C-alpha cells in the first residue's frame, strides 16, 4: 500500500508531502515539494526506524503494517492524522491528545478486586450511542487518532459494533479492552467487519487456576485462550493486558506469560503497574518499588530480544522511568491521553479518579483544556502521577474511602484554597 501524507491544517507545512509505502516489514518514504529539504530528512528517519531489526512489523494488514498496538497501522489515514498531532505538539508547541479511552458500560460479568473502573462510577445513567458518537467526533476534532473502548466489559454493549464503526469511519484506530468472556467467533468477526484494529485481553497469570482465582470465575482462562484464537482468526491484532506487582516481578511471571503469548500467536503484551485506584484507591502498599520497576524493565528488554519481533512487550515502567522513555513519554494524562467514564465524567486517565466535568454539559475540547491548564497537569511529568506520593497526598488522599468516584477535582482545589496557579513548566508536587 502506498499513501501520500499531506498536512493542510499546518500552515508551515503547506506545499510539503511525503509518499509512504510498506514493502515487507519496511516503510519507504519519499518527500516532495518546496519544503522537502527541511522536513524530508525527519520523515525519512522516522519511517526508516520502523521495520528495522529492532522494530519489526507485528502484523501486516490491508490498512498497513502494525508496529505496536499503540500506533496506527502505517501507512494509513489514521497515521497521517497521528503524525499531524505529533508535529503540532513537538514542533509547534501545541498540546493535543492522541489517545482517548472511553468507558462504554459499567456492567461486567466479573468483580475483580483490582478493577480500576470499580467503585461508585457505576452510579448514574450510561452514555447513549448518540452521546458516545458525539464524544468520538469531538475527540477526533482535537487530534485523537486512537480510541479504546473500556468498561466494565465493553462487549456487553449491544451497539458495540456501531460504536467501533463510528471510530473507524473517522480515520481513527478503534481498540477494545475485554475479559474475553463474550469474544466468540461470531463477535470477533463482527468487530473486525465493523473496523476494529485490535483487542486487549486481560490475563493476570499464565497459570489457569490463578487467573480464574484472581478474577473469581472458573473457566475464565479457557475463555481467554478461546478469545485469543477467535480474534486472530478474524484478522484482529491481539494484545494480552496484564499488570505487574512486586511479587509477580520477583517470580518473573512476565516470562511465563510471554511464553504462553508466543505459543498462542499474540502480537503484543502490555504490562501496567499495579496502581492504587478503584476499589484499592487507598492501598498504597501495592505500588511497585523502584527495584521492581528496574527489574521488569530488564526482564522485558531480555524478552524482547529473545522473541526478536515475533511479539513485543510494552511496560509502563518503560514509559514512566528514566531508564526507559520517560523523558519523551512519561505520564500520559493530560499529555497525550484522557478518559471518559461510562456516565460521561472526564478524567486525565482511566487510573486517575478525578473528574474535570462531564461531557453531557461540556465539550471534550473544553474539558481537555481544563485538564492541561490545571496546575497538576500543565507540565510534562516523567513519572506516573498516581504513583507519586506528593500527587497522591494532594489529590488522592483527601478522597474519602466511601466517596463516589471519580471525585470532582474542583472540590479538592476549593479545599486547598488555590485553584492551582503555579508557574508553567514547574512541577508542583
Kindly list the residues in this chain that would bind ligand SF4 in the complex (CB under 6 A). 275, 320, 331-333, 349, 351-352, 384-386
In order of 100, 147, 288, the CA distances from 316 in angstroms are 17, 19, 11
CB atoms within 10 A of CB 101: 20
DSSP per residue, 382-418: SS-GGG-HHHIIIIITTS-TTS-SSEEHHHHHHHHT-
Measured over the CA atoms of residue 44, residue 65, residue 63 and residue 160, the dihedral's sign is: negative
Residue 63 vs 273, nearer CB to ligand SF4: 273
Cell 468487530: give the residue.
Answer: 191
Cis, peptide link before residue 152, omega less than 30° from 0: yes
Measured over the CA atoms of residue 136, residue 141, residue 142 and residue 146, the dihedral's sign is: positive
Residue 221 vs 377, nearer CB to ligand SF4: 377
C-alpha cell of residue 313: 512487550
| CA gap 223, 183 in Å, rounded | 8
Residue 85 CB, nearest approach to ligand SF4 (Å): 17
Residue 330 vs 344, nearer CB to ligand SF4: 330
Residue 90 CB, nearest approach to ligand SF4 (Å): 19
Residue 69 vs 228, nearer CB to ligand SF4: 69
Residue 403 CB, nearest approach to ligand SF4 (Å): 19
Residue 298 CB, nearest approach to ligand SF4 (Å): 20
Task: Report the interhelical angle of 253-264 vs 220-234 (nearest 10°).
Answer: 40
Residue 315 vs 352, nearer CB to ligand SF4: 352
Residue 194 vs 384, nearer CB to ligand SF4: 384
Kind plus residue range of the DSSP H or E element containing 77: helix 77-90
Measured over the CA atoms of residue 256, residue 261, residue 263 and residue 267, the dihedral's sign is: negative
Reported residue count of the chain is 429
| CA gap 95, 103 in Å, rounded | 23
E-state strands within 319-420: 337-340, 346-347, 354-355, 407-408
Kind plus residue range of the DSSP H or E element containing 208: helix 208-215
Residue 162 CB, nearest approach to ligand SF4 (Å): 28
| CA gap 289, 349 in Å, rounded | 22
Residue 158 CB, nearest approach to ligand SF4 (Å): 30
Residue 369 CB, nearest approach to ligand SF4 (Å): 18
Residue 169 CB, nearest approach to ligand SF4 (Å): 28
| Radius of gyration for the alpha carbons in the chain, expressed in angstroms and rounded | 21
Residue 102 vs 165, nearer CB to ligand SF4: 102
Residue 9 vs 390, nearer CB to ligand SF4: 390
Residue 74 vs 147, nearer CB to ligand SF4: 147
Residue 151 CB, nearest approach to ligand SF4 (Å): 17
Residue 232 · residue 238 · CB < 8 Å:
yes
Amino acid at each position: 500500500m502506498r499513501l501520500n501524507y499531506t498536512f493542510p491544517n499546518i500552515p508551515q507545512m503547506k506545499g510539503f508531502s511525503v509518499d509512504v509505502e510498506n514493502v515487507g516489514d519496511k516503510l519507504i518514504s519519499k518527500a516532495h515539494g518546496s519544503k522537502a529539504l527541511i522536513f524530508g530528512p525527519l520523515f525519512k528517519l522516522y519511517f526508516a526506524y520502523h521495520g528495522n531489526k529492532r522494530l519489526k512489523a507485528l502484523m501486516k494488514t490491508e490498512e498497513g503494517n502494525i508496529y505496536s498496538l499503540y500506533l496506527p497501522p502505517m501507512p494509513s489515514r489514521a497515521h497521517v492524522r497521528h503524525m499531524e498531532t505529533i508535529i503540532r505538539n513537538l514542533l509547534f508547541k501545541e498540546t493535543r491528545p492522541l489517545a482517548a479511552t472511553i468507558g462504554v458500560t459499567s456492567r461486567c460479568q466479573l468483580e475483580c478486586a483490582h478493577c480500576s473502573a470499580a467503585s461508585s462510577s457505576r452510579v448514574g445513567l450510561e452514555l447513549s450511542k448518540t452521546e458516545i458518537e458525539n464524544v468520538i467526533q469531538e475527540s477526533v476534532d482535537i487530534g485523537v487518532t486512537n480510541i479504546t473502548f473500556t468498561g466494565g466489559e465493553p462487549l456487553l454493549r449491544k451497539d458495540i459494533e456501531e460504536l467501533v464503526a463510528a471510530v473507524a469511519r473517522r480515520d481513527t484506530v478503534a481498540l477494545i479492552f475485554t475479559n474475553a468472556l463474550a469474544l466468540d467467533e461470531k463477535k470477533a468477526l463482527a468487530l473486525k467487519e465493523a473496523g476494529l484494529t485490535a483487542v486487549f485481553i486481560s490475563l493476570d497469570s499464565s497459570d489457569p487456576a490463578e487467573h480464574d482465582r484472581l478474577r473469581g470465575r472458573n473457566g475464565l482462562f479457557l475463555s481467554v485462550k478461546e478469545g485469543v484464537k477467535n480474534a486472530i482468526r478474524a484478522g484482529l491484532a491481539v494484545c494480552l493486558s496484564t499488570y505487574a506487582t512486586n511479587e509477580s516481578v520477583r517470580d518473573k511471571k512476565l516470562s511465563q506469560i510471554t511464553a504462553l503469548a508466543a505459543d498462542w500467536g499474540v502480537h503484543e503484551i502490555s504490562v501496567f503497574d499495579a496502581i492504587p485506584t478503584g476499589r484499592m484507591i487507598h492501598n498504597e502498599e501495592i505500588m511497585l518499588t523502584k527495584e521492581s520497576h528496574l527489574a521488569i524493565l530488564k526482564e522485558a528488554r531480555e524478552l524482547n530480544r529473545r522473541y526478536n519481533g515475533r511479539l513485543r512487550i510494552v511496560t509502563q515502567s518503560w514509559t514512566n522511568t528514566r531508564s526507559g522513555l520517560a523523558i519523551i513519554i512519561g505520564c500520559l494524562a493530560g499529555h497525550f491521553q484522557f478518559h471518559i467514564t461510562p456516565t460521561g465524567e472526564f478524567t486525565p486517565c482511566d487510573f486517575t479518579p478525578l473528574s474535570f466535568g462531564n461531557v453531557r454539559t461540556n465539550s471534550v475540547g473544553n474539558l481537555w483544556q481544563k485538564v492541561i491548564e490545571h496546575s497538576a497537569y500543565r507540565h510534562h511529568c516523567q513519572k506516573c502521577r498516581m504513583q507519586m506520593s506528593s500527587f497522591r497526598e494532594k489529590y488522592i488522599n483527601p478522597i474519602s474511602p466511601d466517596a463516589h468516584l471519580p471525585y470532582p477535582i474542583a472540590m479538592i482545589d476549593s479545599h486547598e484554597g488555590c485553584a492551582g496557579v503555579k508557574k508553567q513548566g514547574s512541577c508542583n508536587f
